[in-house]
Amino acid sequence: MAQIRALRKRMLAVRTIARITKTMQMIATAKFTAAQQRVRGTRPYTESIRHLVAEVAAAAGDVEHPLLRPAPAESKRELLLVITSDRGLCGAYNGHVLRTAGGFARSFVARGGTLRVAVAGKKGLAVLKFMKIEVNERLAFGGRPTFAEIEAIAQRLIDGFVKGEYDAVRIAYMKFLSSARQVPEVMQLLPLATEAKAGDENAATKAAATAVYDFSPSARELLDDLLPQSVKISLFQAVNDAIVSEHAMRMVAMKAATDNARGLGKSLSRMYNRARQAKITTELTEIVSGASALE
């Protein structure tokens, strides 16, 4: 009887867990859909402004700009911004990002560099402390940050880079490729890489070589406006990628948890039925034996 009662309690607990995880999956799906729309809406603009900056920088000739200065071959001071989640239950999302960030941090420090680490997300803060990586600054993006919030953070990074506080700024985040694929990477935010790919570089070079530009206002004034904007939108795109990746991985994790709970519920139901049948058989045997003894 005790075994049957225990199985009944476990079945009830598993059904409750399945309902909770199913609800969390539905919430994650709704948030993922909204976040995916934001990512798809901002990505064309991000790619266009990067291409425009690459083309203007290539056509500007020998015009120099602080945000375009190349990083030293052996960078000694860098800032690493790690974007993680505030909540768990999102599968291996935080683990992948933190493993990538930790590997970069250890490699950079091993080369004798000084790394300043800024973290967005409670999970990253706790894990980096466990990994013995000092966290110098904590940022809060929230579940749906506005461009104005990200712009203020990006401006602080730009000001610090221009003042020479660090040679480069990098972001460790989860890049969103599709609902089934997210890749952790460390992206260089500053100095600004005007050509992210060889194809973009060739396109910008060819455009600058075949087209004659008449800048009004001057090329330097255009770069003063375009380059900070490119940095801000790149950071905004990275944050949006991280958020939609988190929702995608939580959606998958909660679906797996729901399926596992339902599978366990079926196994417990079979065990419960067998135990109940064995109890009924035992009681019938005892009744028949008792009746035979009275004859």
The per-residue pLDDT for range 59-92, each reduced to its tens digit, is 776 777 888 877 777 778 999 999 999 998 999 9
Helix (H) or strand (E) holding 121: none
One-letter amino acid of 42:
T
- The whole-angstrom distance between residue 4's C-alpha and the CA centroid of its chain comes to 44
Residue 102: pLDDT band by 50, 70, 90 thresholds?
very high
**With the C-alpha atoms ordered 24, 27, 33, 36, is the resulting torsion angle positive or negative?**
negative
Judge whether residue 254 has pLDDT over 50: yes
Pairing of strands 77-83, 168-178: parallel
Strands, sheet with 114-120, edge to edge from the N-terminal-most edge strand: 137-139, 114-120, 77-83, 168-178, 181-190
Q: How many other C-beta atoms can be found within 10 angstroms of the C-beta atom of residue 96?
A: 17
Q: What is the pTM of this model?
A: 0.84
Token pair, residue 55, equals 């083309």
Q: Which phi and psi (to 5°) does residue 86 adopt?
A: -85, -25
Judge whether residue 2 has pLDDT over 60: yes
pLDDT of residue 209: 47
Token pair, residue 199, equals 């194809």
**Can you state the angle between helices 122-130 and 93-110, rounded to 10 degrees?**
50
Token pair, residue 96, equals 């992948």
Which tens digit of pLDDT belongs to each residue from 214-242?
777 777 788 888 899 999 999 999 999 99
Region 145-163 average pLDDT: 92
pLDDT of residue 197: 41
